[in-house]
Amino acid sequence: MLERITYANEETGYTVARVDTGRGGNDLLTVVGALLGAQPGESLRMFGRWGSHPQYGRQFTVENYTTVLPATVQGIRRYLGSGLIKGIGPRFAERIVDAFGVDTLEVIENEPGRLIEVPGLGPKRTKMIAAAWEEQKAIKEVMVFLQGVGVSTSLAVRIFKKYGDSSIGVVKNEPYRLAADVWGIGFLTADRIAQAVGIPHDSPERVKAGLQYALSQSSDQGHCYLPEERLIADGVKLLQVDVGLVIDCLSELVAEEGVVRERVPGEGGEPITAVYLVPFHRAEVSLSNQLLRLLNAEGDRLPGFAGVDWEAALGWLARRTGAELAPEQRESVKLALTRKVAVLTGGPGCGKSFTVRSVVELALAKRAKVVLAAPTGRAAKRLAELTGAEASTVHRLLELRPGGEAAYDRDRPLDADLVVVDEASMLDLILANKLVKAVAPGAHLLFVGDVDQLPSVGAGEVLRDMLSEGSPIPSVRLTRIFRQAQQSGVVTNAH
């Protein structure tokens, strides 16, 4: 029997509880897991595994459970007084049980009007108790149904949190919605649930969800889109249905704006038909537009470099850093400080880091607001050590929240005159789009990186695309390996 709930997370349903095993000795066992709907006083039949917590000792992790309503007067009293029903505390629970005994739960279920017989319970509180009982019963019905179609308790909690009383209807009639709406449920899980509730194997909803899943899988491998023929072939293989059905369902998906179909240049230059998931297509179009917007912005937040005496400025820089810049490095420094968007690239040992430091030194000398970022914490720390200025990850810079929303965007841009992004080869399409959106018009944006190192984790090769032939983004490629780097076997072998 469930004695008490020690901790419960309303969002996830994760619960820590103490149960009486019924073996005597007053020993209570700790159980943990998704126990949404379970209340003190109920008898539970739990399935899971034994484990040991370093601080709390032996405990049982619940994977699935079923409840049995309490049958004894003592169990009913504890059940009702546990806070299960708004309007009934331990005092009223005792009065109700004193009035109806072991028939208490049957009275609440079938004759709630009789509760008015209990001293102190008026019509208003009686109605409130009946409504709360119905709500609690609905949770139980949903949980029982979901477990009956093979949904684990933890996923059942998430489904109920998302759809509430509509959960059974959604799972029965639109199970593939779960893959899009509920965190932790992908196409394969939704497909298993759909099979359990009798959705046909060749259902158009199944095929459309499967095609979106195939595109999602390809994005995990770095692709922003798939050629239409490849997607159709992948869909047939994944779903084991006729190719004609896949083609028809893909057309429906396009019409419903579930995916975007567009002609793009292929690897050999020949146009191909590409199919994108909507977020990737939006990000690609947006990133392209935002880069052009920054590049062609009328204002300039670094106006001091428009007519600067570069010989004097670079001479001052050499005295400050104790080293002369090579011709390619000088060109990079000028580019970063006079053009709104620029790329600095080159292999290891070619002086990218020293060039970045030089750009930052000159910008700070003109009292510019400089923001430094990198895709990873380690790269950000290295950038901060190199320049002597504060650097952060791109996520922290934008204050990216769970779910992907950023605190800084086009409507609330970063307060920066110069934004430098190191290790830009690791920028994926979605993150790069969020970053570029947050750069204010007139500010300068410098990408630094080597396309032959550290590819992005997410889909897209943003740095490589910006350096491709015909790109309007100005760039400098450093090629000279400096003397100290020439003695490094790592650098030589890398080149």
pLDDT category at 431 given cuts 50, 70, 90 is very high
- Is the pLDDT score of 486 beyond 60? no
The whole-number pLDDT of residue 485 equals: 46
Res. 260: pLDDT tops 70: yes
Q: Report the range of poorest mean pLDDT among 147-151, 207-211, 257-261, 341-345.
A: 147-151
For the segment 185-230, what is each residue's pLDDT rounded down to a tens digit? Answer: 888 889 988 988 888 999 999 999 999 999 999 998 889 999 999 9
Is the pLDDT at 329 greater than 50, yes or no?
yes
- The whole-number average pLDDT for the span 109-131 is 83
pLDDT of residue 442: 93
pTM of the model: 0.71
Q: With 70 as the cut, is the pLDDT of residue 302 above it?
A: yes
Res. 344: pLDDT tops 70: yes
- Highest average pLDDT, of 126-130, 225-229, 314-318, comes from 225-229
3-class SS letters over the chain = CEEEEEEECCCCCEEEEEEECCCCCCCEEEEEEECCCCCCCCEEEEEEEEEEECCCEEEEEEEEEEEECCCCHHHHHHHHHHHHCCCCCHHHHHHHHHHHHHHHHHHHHHCHHHHHHCCCCCHHHHHHHHHHHHHHHHHHHHHHHHHHCCCCHHHHHHHHHHHHHHHHHHHHHCCCHHHHHCCCCCHHHHHHHHHHCCCCCCCHHHHHHHHHHHHHHHHHCCCCEEEHHHHHHHHHHHHCCCHHHHHHHHHHHHHCCCEEEEEEECCCCCEEEEEEEHHHHHHHHHHHHHHHHHHCCCCCCCHHHCCCCHHHHHHHHHHHHCCCCCHHHHHHHHHHHHCCEEEEEECCCCCHHHHHHHHHHHHHHCCCCEEEEECCHHHHHHHHHHHCCCEEEHHHHHCECCCCCECCCCCCCCCCCEEEECCHHHCCHHHHHHHHHCCCCCCEEEEEECCCCCCCCCCCCHHHHHCCCCCCCCEEEECCCCHHHHCCHHHHHHC
- pLDDT tens digits along 449-485: 988 777 787 899 999 999 988 889 999 888 766 545 4
Instruction: Decide if pLDDT at 278 tops 70.
Output: yes
Round the average pLDDT of the chain to a whole number and report it: 85
pLDDT score for 320: 86
CA distance 379 to 385: 10
What pLDDT was estimated at residue 483? 46
Set out the domains of the chain in order of their start, with CATH numbers: 2-145 (no CATH), 149-196 (no CATH), 204-279 (1.10.10.2220), 296-494 (3.40.50.300)
Of 59-68, 191-200, 407-416, 425-434, the poorest mean pLDDT is in 59-68
Percent of the chain residues topping a pLDDT of 90? 34
Average pLDDT of 54-63? 83
What percent of the chain is predicted at pLDDT more than 70?
92
Q: What is the pLDDT of residue 145?
A: 80
Q: In the predicted model, is pLDDT for residue 268 greater than 50?
A: yes
Lowest mean pLDDT among 123-132, 443-452, 467-476: 123-132
Instruction: Give yes or no for residue 84 having a pLDDT over 70.
Output: no
